[in-house]
């Protein structure tokens, strides 16, 4: 494959430096793509896939994808809501979770968003904030701010803010409390509508989606291998139903069997505890890299 830049059919824009960068490049590497990602570089061609990467500011990605500068983008869904550009969401990527919330200083008399009527609200999400308050019919003055929104109440610029938060710790640190959630968000893979109609690009995009989905599904499971008493087999199978059914292997000792199964990562520790109670030993657990169902 010709390695020179500009020779790839499909272009994917991702955040150059920020909260989504590491997870985005890790996902690309997990699905087997090889590329150089130097901080100072704006472009990188994948050596083993018909894909070129554009490393840019996340705020520019919805526009680039809508305009066709990039065919694909990895970005927080919050930016799609905020900029309202016509792009197609292809896949949620299960990272970059956050919420856009309305918050007020701890000592504020406001208990609900209605109490913010006729006040000033500072935000770097002016469109999302305006839509939200307009839909509820609450008249507020939106003050667009590009950074450090959480300081604006202390500075007397606003009585409330609309800001992104993941754990709420930045809000708490600044003596702010949440009064409402406007929307929740996560990173998504999105596409330009025309690129999806182009047959050659579509094939590459579909191949990439299948790989992404396999990597994302795999993270929901862990692969568990164990030895167990044959007598407990029936009960053990109900604890580890696996995807369809677990693999049971005979061992040299006729009283024992080896069981291999995929277990949901979320319930994983509960399952392990129940397995141990049922007599399972030598329990080995490994992550799954891809899962093609
Ligand atoms: P850039 O320089 O690329 O414009 P940025 O400072 O605007 O970066 P980041 O703070 O890196 O952006 O956030 C990128 C995305 O990460 C957000 O748009 C959002 O989707 C997601 N995100 C996850 N958790 C948080 C959080 N606690 N605060 C802000 N964004 C978060
Ligand atoms: Zn940004």
Mutate to test the pocket of ligand 1, among 58, 103, 189 (most ligand atoms within 8 A of CB): 58
> Which residue's alpha carbon is nearest to atom 11 within ligand 1?
18
Ligand 1 atom 6 nearest Cα: 18
DSSP the chain: ---STT--SEEEEEESSSTTHHHHHHHHHHTT------TT-SEEE-SSSSEEEEEE-GGGHHHHHHHTSSSEEEEEHHHHHHH----EEEEE-S-S-EEEEEEEETT-S--SGGGGTTSEEEES-HHHHHHHHHHHT---EEEE-SS-GGGTTTTTS-SEEEEEESSSHHHHHTTEEEEEEEEEE-EEEEE-HHHHHSHHHHHHHHHHHHHHHHHHHHHTEEEEEEEEEGGGHHHHHHH---SSS-EEEE-SSTTEEEEEEEEEGGGHHHHHHHHHHTT-EEEEEEE-S----
The per-residue pLDDT for 1 is: 54
Assess whether the C-beta atom of 58 lies below 6 angstroms from ligand 1.
yes
Residue 18 C-alpha to ligand 1 middle, in angstroms?
Answer: 6
Nearest CA to ligand 1 atom 3: 57
Alpha-carbon span 168 to 151, nearest angstrom? 15
Domain of residue 272: give its range.
222-287
Tell me: do 191 and 233 sit in the same domain: no
What pLDDT, in 10s, does the model give residues 186-234?
999 999 999 999 999 999 999 999 999 999 999 889 999 999 999 988 8
Q: Has residue 7 got a pLDDT over 90?
A: no
Ligand 1, closest atom to CA 185?
20
Which pTM does this prediction carry? 0.88
Number of domains comprising the chain: 3
Res. 293: pLDDT tops 80:
no
Question: What gap in Å lies between CA 135 and CA 145, rounded to an integer?
Answer: 22
Which atom of ligand 1 lies closest to the CA of 75? 20
62 CB within 6 A, ligand 1: no
Structure tokens at 101: 């919330």
Pair (43, 175) in one structural domain: no
pLDDT of residue 44: 93
Indicate if 178 and 257 belong to the same structural domain. Answer: no
Residue nearest to atom 23 of ligand 1 (CA): 96
Residue at a domain's end among 166, 185, 204: 185
pLDDT in tens, 58-93: 999 999 999 999 999 999 999 999 999 899 999 999
Last residue of a domain, one of 202, 218, 234: 218
Q: Atom 5 in ligand 1: which residue has the minimum CA distance?
A: 18
Co-location of 178 and 102 in the same domain? yes
pLDDT value, residue 39: 65
Q: Is the CB of 108 under 6 A from ligand 1?
A: no
Q: 123: how many CB neighbours lie within 10 A of its CB?
A: 26
**Mean pLDDT in the chain?**
92
Q: Could you tell me the distance, in angstroms and rounded to a whole number, from the CA of residue 63 to the centre of ligand 2?
A: 13
Q: Is the pLDDT of residue 5 over 70?
A: no
In a domain, 193, yes or no: yes
Are residues 65 and 107 located together in one domain of the fold?
A: no
Please tell me the distance between residue 46's alpha carbon and the centre of ligand 2 in angstroms.
Answer: 25
Same domain, 192 and 73: yes
Span 33-43, pLDDT tens digits? 999 876 677 99
C-beta 98 within 6 A of ligand 1? yes
Nearest residue by C-alpha to atom 17 in ligand 1: 76
Per-residue pLDDT at 272: 87
pLDDT of residue 232: 87
pLDDT tens digits, one per residue of 235-284: 887 877 665 678 899 999 999 999 998 888 888 888 889 889 999 999 99
Distance 39 CA to ligand 2 centre (A): 16
Give residue-wise pLDDT tens across range 116-173. Answer: 999 999 999 999 999 999 999 999 999 999 989 999 999 999 999 999 999 999 999 9
Q: Does residue 4 form part of some domain?
A: no
138 and 169 inside one domain = yes
pLDDT at 4: 57
Model confidence band, residue 3 (pLDDT cutoffs 50, 70, 90): low
Note whether 92 and 102 are same-domain residues: no
Euclidean distance between CA atoms 16 and 258, whole angstroms: 46
């Amino acid at each position: 494959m010709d390695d020179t830049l500009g020779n790839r059919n499909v272009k994917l824009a991702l955040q150059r430096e920020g909260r989504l960068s590491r997870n985005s490049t890790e996902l690309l590497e997990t699905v087997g793509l090889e590329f150089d990602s130097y901080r100072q570089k704006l472009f990188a061609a994948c050596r083993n896939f018909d894909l070129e990467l554009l490393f840019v500011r996340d705020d520019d990605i919805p526009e680039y994808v809508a305009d066709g500068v990039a065919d694909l983008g990895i970005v927080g869904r919050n930016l799609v809501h905020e900029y309202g550009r016509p792009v197609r969401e292809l896949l949620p990527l299960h990272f970059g979770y956050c919420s856009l919330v309305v918050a007020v200083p701890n000592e504020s008399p406001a208990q609900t968003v209605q109490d913010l009527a006729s006040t000033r609200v500072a935000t770097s999400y002016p469109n999302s904030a305006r839509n939200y308050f307009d839909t509820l019919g609450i008249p507020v003055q939106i003050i667009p701010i590009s950074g450090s929104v959480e300081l604006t109440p202390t500075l007397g610029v606003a009585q409330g803010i609309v800001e992104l938060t993941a754990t709420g710790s930045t809000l708490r640190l600044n003596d702010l409390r949440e009064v409402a959630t406007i929307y929740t968000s996560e990173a998504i893979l999105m596409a330009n509508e025309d690129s999806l109609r182009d047959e050659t690009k579509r094939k590459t995009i579909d191949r990439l989606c299948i790989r992404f989905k396999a990597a994302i599904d795999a993270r929901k499971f862990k692969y568990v291998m164990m030895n167990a008493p044959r007598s407990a087999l029936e009960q053990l199978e109900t604890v580890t139903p696996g995807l369809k059914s677990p693999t049971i292997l005979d061992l040299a000792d006729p009283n024992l069997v080896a069981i291999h199964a995929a277990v949901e990562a979320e319930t994983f520790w509960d399952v392990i505890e129940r397995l141990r109670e049922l007599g399972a030993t030598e329990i080995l657990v490994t992550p799954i890299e891809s899962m093609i169902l």
